[in-house]
């Protein structure tokens, strides 16, 4: 059972805010929060050392090794309050391992997240440095920012090559367009493989950036998935790219390749007038969102009855499976 924390009383708050007049008194470079953080961290460090030694200050030695306090070391931690000087208590034998401020730690937990958040928004190293200086008064070197972002790059590479499950019932292969900073900000296509695992959970299997999309590129992608442990895919959902099904079947010959429902609907609506597109799309949705195959067949018949005279040859011709796909006549 966790120990109950002491409540912060109104009397304590009154003492802390006795001289409060403006926001800077609370969150400024020498504000109450910064001073309070320093005091609390140093008190917690002292409590950790007391637990480590087995005795408090000025008490008899409480351990068999004769280990005692041995002054302080000083460090500055970078964080949202700028640089915060902290005194770290030491023991004579050098066996004390602080937990709240670990050895060699120079930044508060979460400070790296701020750097990564700014980096993800496309800011340069110099822009991040200036922003942290302006917002928090923290002087952060370009090398520190680079080391933080480089560490994430290593994690991304490890994630990109991680082993995968042997079987995925469904894998979606498509792309999204996002802004990427390469000197200037450009829009690039990021190709992705999204799998549904046996537990029914979505899982990003990989992300790739390529100059152009083609059957050869996707052949490399599915080959990589196989090399990372995927042995079988039941259904691969793809767009209408020429040669795409053949590329998948070359690596996973037993996989059923299915055209993405979004691409099928978009393609079909090209044959429908603008004023009727919303109505046709709604009727198509009733088919592919049916809860059973029998219901889908019923909705298909209703669709044919309603639209056959206007769009002969366009209508859906099959509803194989539950909430899966509707194939269309060309």
Residue 141 pLDDT greater than 70, yes or no: no
DSSP-derived pairing of the beta strands 167-182 and 232-238: parallel
Is the domain spanning 167-259 CATH 3.30.420.10? The answer is: yes
Whether residue 317 is predicted with pLDDT greater than 90 in this model: the reply is no
What tens digit of pLDDT does each residue of 102-118 get? 777 666 655 666 666 66
The CA distance from 154 to 144, in Å, is: 16
Listed in order, strand segments (DSSP E) in 129-271 are 167-182, 184-196, 202-209, 232-238, 256-259
Domain ranges of the chain: 1-107, 110-160, 167-259, 262-328
241 φ, ψ (degrees, to nearest 5):
-60, 130
Q: What is the pTM of this model?
A: 0.52
Q: Each residue of 38-95: pLDDT tens digit?
A: 776 777 778 888 888 888 887 888 788 888 888 888 887 776 556 778 888 888 888 8
What sign results for the dihedral spanned by CA atoms 86, 91, 93, 97? negative
Exposure of 244 by Cβ count < 10 A (0-12 exposed, 13-18 middle, 19+ buried)? Answer: buried
* Whole-angstrom distance, CA of residue 169 vs CA of residue 308: 35
Identify the residue with better confidence: 172 or 5: 172
Quote the mean pLDDT of the chain: 77
Q: Residue 136: its pLDDT value, please?
A: 56
pLDDT exceeding 90 applies to what percent of the chain?
15
């Amino acid at each position: 059972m966790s120990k109950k924390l002491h409540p912060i009383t109104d009397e304590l708050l009154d003492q802390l805010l006795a001289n409060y007049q403006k926001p800077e008194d609370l969150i400024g470079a020498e504000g109450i929060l910064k001073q309070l953080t320093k005091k609390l961290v140093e008190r917690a460090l002292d409590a950790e050392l007391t637990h480590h030694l087995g005795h408090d200050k000025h008490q008899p030695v409480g351990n068999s090794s004769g280990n005692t306090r041995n002054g302080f070391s000083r460090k500055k931690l970078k964080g949202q309050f700028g640089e915060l000087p902290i005194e770290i208590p030491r023991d004579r034998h050098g066996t004390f391992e602080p937990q709240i401020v670990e050895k060699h730690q120079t930044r508060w937990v979460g400070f790296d997240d701020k750097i990564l958040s700014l980096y993800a928004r496309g800011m340069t190293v110099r822009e991040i440095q200036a922003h942290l200086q302006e917002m928090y008064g923290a002087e952060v070197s370009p090398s520190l920012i680079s080391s933080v972002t480089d560490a994430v790059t290593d994690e991304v590479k490890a994630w990109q090559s991680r082993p995968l499950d042997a079987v995925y019932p469904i894998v979606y292969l498509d792309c999204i367009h996002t802004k990427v900073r390469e000197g200037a900000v450009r829009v690039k296509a990021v190709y992705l493989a999204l799998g549904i695992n046996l537990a029914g959970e979505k899982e990003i299997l990989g992300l790739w950036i390529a100059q152009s999309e083609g059957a050869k590129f996707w052949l490399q992608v599915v080959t990589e998935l196989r090399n990372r442990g995927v042995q079988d895919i039941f259904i691969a959902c793809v767009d209408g790219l020429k040669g795409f099904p053949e590329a998948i079947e070359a690596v996973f010959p037993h996989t059923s390749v299915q055209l993405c429902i979004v691409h099928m609907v978009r393609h079909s609506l090209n044959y429908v007038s603008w004023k009727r597109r919303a109505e046709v799309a709604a009727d198509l949705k009733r088919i592919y969102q049916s809860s059973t195959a029998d219901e889908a067949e019923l909705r298909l018949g209703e669709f044919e009855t309603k639209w056959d005279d206007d769009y002969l040859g366009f209508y859906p011709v099959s509803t194989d499976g539950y909430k899966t796909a509707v194939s269309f006549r060309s």
